[in-house]
Structures are given as structure tokens and as C-alpha cells.
């Protein structure tokens, strides 16, 4: 029976070329950190426009438009009444005053959705409701409140005590938009307001970018399922659920493949089988330099090109991205805060770019720091934080323990304070940069 390779044997084999003399192996791989902006740039070289599909208007919320929306007719499509009242000929009211009102005979009544049969002659009015098409021969509308109605010999009349001009109280055809106008760009997120336009212009089916399928594996022998009881040495897998939530929020479809124990062969097998089933693959954990951190060796065996494996940032310095052909494999850190930040900085922008969304990166703003942050920042630091508006200014405060292993600082965070590498000693009241987790995004927030 052949002996199973130990993690140390495996490292010796992997690093044998990095020998500095005949005796000494570097069992710890030395990684050279690159700047966050450079790392994001390397990922963004892999942008591919997403596939287009038609979805029912009932199901299109949260998708991104794959085509611009253009008005194919005027809105409103006809002159219409903005009030409940009477459609009149303005010229009939020229002499109307409080003392000498004019009297008009009401010859027909129309509600919204109906069109008048009769045409107005001098001295006549048509009772009209809000939204109804203005009769061809009318040119103004008088609200009920400005008239006095009366009956005489079984006929209906109104009295008007002031004059009106042609066009008064008429919502003109095309006043909202005219046929041919560009209204919403390709790549826009479908919001309730966009849906109103889709419905207005008859989109029973909406052309959208398909949600990319993004596979998730959580690696770690210590991981329990959510429903498992805690046992010594183990923790529940939170990253898979967090990442799935981030994917859904970014408009992608998470495909959770489950958790993997730290065993090279099992991880390699599962990962290589999953790649063809998804557009992107995320793994969490196992990317650092530990004995059971197998992702680097798995990328090597897959023949994937590692775009980077060390970024000058905290948390998430070990975030690794590899490309297998044109498919990206995101090796996010196992530490929950590092995993979260790695997703927001590297995964989210390429997903949004595949929808032609023009602000795929987190939105950068300035905020007033509401707490001291004395720690030094050897690397660019992303502090999980909460922004709020106080007296018209954006304020920010960290949401909890600032360690990459912290999970509790994430629940309340709606921003990341961005502290440049090489700085220290931020104090209450200072201006800092923040990246908004729920903002509309930015084209490029990096220097």
C-alpha cells in the first residue's frame, strides 16, 4: 500500500525549486503583496459581457437591462385631463367674471378609458374625469370646484366665473416623453421605477443579463453545518451563507456545492468537477500558508494562472485569484471579515461589469470619523463600519472588533473605512474615506 503524502511532504515537493542551499527548504512560500488597485485591475481584465435572456416582467426585479429602453410612443399617448371637471372651449369663457359668469350646456359625460362621441359646439361642455382623453373639439378643462352645476328643463348646465386659456389644465400628448426618446440605458438595474417604464412600453418579456452562476465551496475540517451542535474545535460554516447573500445582492446566482474537509485529493476532485458547472467559482479558506491550506497547490495542479496571492490590504491579504482559461477562481480567505471584504473588492465588480453596469466598484465618499482608530495600518485597511447622515454630513463608526477573523462586525456594517497603508492614529472628528456597501457604486475608486 502506498503511503499517503503528508502536508509537509507535499510542501517539500512544491517548494523544492526554491531551495537556497542544499539543506534548507523554504517551507513557507514567500508572497509579494501587490496594491489593491493593481489586484482589482488584474481581475477586471477578465470582464466578459453576460449572456442575455428574456424574463417575464413579473420576474425581472433586480436583474440588469441588456438593452436600452426607448419610448416607442408618446407618453401620454393623447391629450388628457388631469382633473375631474368639464372639458370646454376656452374661447367660450373669454367674458366670464364673478359678476357675469358664462353658462355652458353639458352634452356628454366621459370617464377615463372612454372617448367622447360628440363634438363641442359654441356654449357646450363635456363632463370629463381625470385620465380621460380630451375631446378633439375641447382645449381646456375646468375643475368641478370652479363651477356651479344646475339643471333646467331636464338639461344640465354649468356656470363658470373666470376665463380660461387654450391648454389650461390639459396634460399634453408627449409631455412626459416623446416617441424615440432614450429613457433607460443598457446595464441599468431594474428598479420599481424601471419596471413602470417596461410596463408602459409593453415589455411582457424583458431582455436582461442572465444571472451568472457562481459556485461556492467552504473549505475547512473545522466546519459544521448550520444545524449541527457545537463540538470542541469546530465552528459553524458562516462564510458559505454570507457569500451566497453577497452574490444574490450583486445579482448573481449562488450554487452552493457544500463544505470540504482539508484533504488535498477530495478538494481537488470536488473543485475540478465543479468548474464546468459555473461561470465563476468561489472557495473560502485554505489559501494561506498553513499545512492544510491546499488551494495554492490545487491551482497549480489544475494548471490555473494565479493572478495574485497576496494583496497589500487588511483584512484579506491572502485573497487569491486564479484564472483557468477565461474562468476566474476566487480563493477568498477563510476568516469571515477577510472573506467578506475580498468578495466586495474583487468578485462584486466583475459580476456587475458583466451586466454592463457602469459603476461596478464600491462607492467612495468622505465621512467624519466618530471614534478613535489608533491602530497602525501597514497595509491598506478596510474597517467594517456603519455610516449615517447627521445634520447633512456623512459620519462613520467601526461596527466591532477589527480583526479579519471577526464575524460580528459584519452584521451592522454598511461601509468600509478605507485607511491608506502607512498611516496610523486616526482620531474622532477626522475626515476619512469610506466605501459604501449599499451605494450606487463608482466607476473606479482607486488611486
Ligand X SMILES: Nc1nc2c(c(=O)[nH]1)N[C@H]1C(S)=C(S)[C@@H](COP(=O)(O)OP(=O)(O)OC[C@H]3O[C@@H](n4cnc5c(N)ncnc54)[C@H](O)[C@@H]3O)O[C@H]1N2
C-alpha cell read off for 248: 444574490
| CA–CA distance, 220 with 235 (Å, rounded to integer) | 10
Among residue numbers 290 through 319, which ones bind ligand MOO (CB under 6 A)? Answer: 314-318
> Long-range CB contacts (< 8 A, 24+ apart) of 197-201?
197/69, 198/57, 198/60, 198/69, 199/57, 200/75, 201/69, 201/71, 201/72, 201/73
Total residues in contact with ligand X, by rule CB under 6 A: 27
Nearer Cβ to ligand MOO (318/362): 318
Q: Facing residues of 255 across strands?
A: 215
For position 270 contacting ligand X by CB under 6 A, the verdict is: no
CB of 403 to ligand MOO, least distance (A): 7
CB of 334 to ligand MOO, least distance (A): 9
Going through 176-316 in order, the beta strands assigned E by DSSP cover 182-184, 205-209, 213-219, 223-224, 235-236, 253-260, 280-284, 305-308, 313-314
For position 285 contacting ligand X by CB under 6 A, the verdict is: yes
Stretch touching Mg ion by CB under 5 A, among 93-101, 203-211, 289-297, 336-344: 289-297
Angle between helices 295-302 and 7-14 (to 10 degrees): 50
Among residue numbers 332 through 391, which ones bind ligand MOO (CB under 6 A)? Answer: 333, 335, 338
Residue from 334, 398, 400, 445 touching ligand X (CB under 6 A): that is 334
The CA angle 253-255-258, to the nearest 5 degrees, is: 150
The H or E element spanning position 126 is strand 124-128
Nearer Cβ to ligand X (132/407): 407
CB of 297 to Mg ion, least distance (A): 13
CB of 330 to ligand X, least distance (A): 12
Residue from 82, 111, 245, 290 touching ligand X (CB under 6 A): that is 290
CB of 310 to ligand X, least distance (A): 8
Binding site partner of 353, from ligand MOO, ligand X, Mg ion, none, Cβ cut-off 5-8 A by kind: none
Stretch touching ligand MOO by CB under 6 A, among 82-90, 145-153, 274-282, 331-339: 331-339
Going through 327-429 in order, the beta strands assigned E by DSSP cover 327-332, 363-369, 380-390, 393-398, 415-419
* Contact (CB, 8 A) for 187 and 351: no
For position 337 contacting ligand X by CB under 6 A, the verdict is: no
Stretch touching ligand X by CB under 6 A, among 73-81, 170-178, 284-292, 363-371: 284-292
For position 400 contacting ligand MOO by CB under 6 A, the verdict is: no
How far out from the chain centre does Cα 65 lie? 12
DSSP structural state of residue 347? I
DSSP structural state of residue 343? I
For position 288 contacting Mg ion by CB under 5 A, the verdict is: yes
- Helix, coil or strand: residue 184: strand
Stretch touching ligand X by CB under 6 A, among 95-103, 114-122, 298-306, 313-321: 313-321
Nearer Cβ to ligand X (237/377): 237
Residue from 79, 139, 293, 344 touching Mg ion (CB under 5 A): that is 293
CB of 348 to ligand MOO, least distance (A): 17
C-alpha cell read off for 393: 454630513
* Contact (CB, 8 A) for 238 and 256: no
* Contact (CB, 8 A) for 307 and 378: no
Q: Facing residues of 423 across strands?
A: 377
Residue from 290, 376, 420, 422 touching Mg ion (CB under 5 A): that is 290
The residues that touch ligand X, with contacts defined as CB under 6 A, are 218, 220, 222-223, 235, 237-240, 284-290, 293, 315, 317-318, 333-336, 338, 404-405
- Contact residues toward ligand MOO (CB under 6 A) are 314-318, 333, 335, 338, 404
Amino acid at each position: 500500500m502506498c503511503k499517503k503524502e503528508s502536508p509537509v511532504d507535499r510542501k517539500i515537493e512544491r517548494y523544492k525549486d526554491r531551495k537556497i542551499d542544499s539543506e534548507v527548504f523554504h517551507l513557507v512560500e514567500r508572497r509579494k503583496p501587490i496594491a489593491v488597485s493593481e489586484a482589482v485591475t488584474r481581475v477586471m481584465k477578465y470582464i466578459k459581457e453576460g449572456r442575455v435572456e428574456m424574463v417575464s416582467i413579473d420576474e425581472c426585479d433586480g436583474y440588469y437591462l441588456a438593452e436600452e429602453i426607448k419610448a416607442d410612443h408618446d407618453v401620454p399617448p393623447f391629450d388628457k385631463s388631469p382633473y375631474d371637471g368639464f372639458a370646454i372651449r376656452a374661447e367660450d369663457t373669454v367674458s366670464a367674471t364673478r359678476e357675469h359668469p358664462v353658462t355652458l350646456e353639458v352634452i356628454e359625460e366621459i370617464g377615463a378609458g372612454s372617448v367622447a362621441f360628440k363634438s363641442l359646439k359654441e356654449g357646450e361642455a363635456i363632463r370629463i374625469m381625470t385620465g380621460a382623453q380630451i375631446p378633439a373639439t375641447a382645449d381646456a378643462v375646468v375643475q368641478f370646484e370652479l363651477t356651479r352645476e344646475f339643471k333646467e328643463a331636464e338639461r344640465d348646465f354649468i356656470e363658470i366665473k373666470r376665463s380660461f386659456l387654450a391648454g389650461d389644465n390639459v396634460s399634453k400628448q408627449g409631455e412626459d416623453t416623446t416617441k424615440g426618446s432614450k429613457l433607460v440605458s443598457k446595464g441599468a438595474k431594474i428598479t420599481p421605477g424601471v419596471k413602470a417604464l417596461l410596463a408602459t412600453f409593453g415589455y411582457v418579456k424583458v431582455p436582461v443579463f442572465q444571472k451568472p452562476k457562481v459556485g461556492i465551496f467552504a473549505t475547512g475540517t473545522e466546519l459544521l453545518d448550520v444545524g449541527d451542535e457545537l463540538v470542541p474545535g469546530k465552528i459553524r460554516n458562516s462564510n458559505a451563507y454570507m457569500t451566497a447573500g453577497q452574490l444574490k445582492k450583486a445579482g448573481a446566482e449562488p450554487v452552493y456545492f457544500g463544505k470540504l474537509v482539508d484533504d488535498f485529493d477530495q478538494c481537488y476532485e470536488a473543485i475540478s468537477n465543479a468548474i464546468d458547472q459555473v461561470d465563476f467559482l468561489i472557495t473560502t479558506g485554505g489559501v494561506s500558508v498553513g499545512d492544510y491550506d491546499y488551494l495554492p497547490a490545487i491551482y497549480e495542479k489544475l494548471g490555473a494562472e494565479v493572478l495574485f496571492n497576496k494583496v497589500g490590504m487588511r483584512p484579506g491579504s491572502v485573497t487569491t485569484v486564479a484564472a483557468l482559461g477565461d474562468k476566474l477562481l476566487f480563493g477568498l480567505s477563510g476568516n469571515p471579515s477577510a472573506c467578506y471584504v475580498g468578495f466586495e473588492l474583487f468578485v462584486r465588480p466583475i459580476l456587475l461589469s458583466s451586466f454592463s453596469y457602469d459603476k461596478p466598484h464600491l462607492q467612495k465618499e468622505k465621512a467624519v470619523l466618530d471614534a478613535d482608530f489608533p491602530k497602525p495600518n501597514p497595509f491598506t485597511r478596510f474597517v467594517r463600519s456603519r455610516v449615517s447622515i447627521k445634520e447633512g454630513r456623512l459620519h462613520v463608526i467601526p461596527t466591532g472588533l477589527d480583526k479579519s477573523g471577526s464575524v460580528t462586525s459584519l452584521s451592522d456594517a454598511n461601509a468600509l473605512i478605507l485607511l491608506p497603508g502607512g498611516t496610523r492614529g486616526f482620531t474622532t472628528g477626522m475626515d476619512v474615506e469610506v466605501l459604501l456597501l449599499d451605494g450606487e457604486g463608482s466607476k473606479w475608486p482607486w488611486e
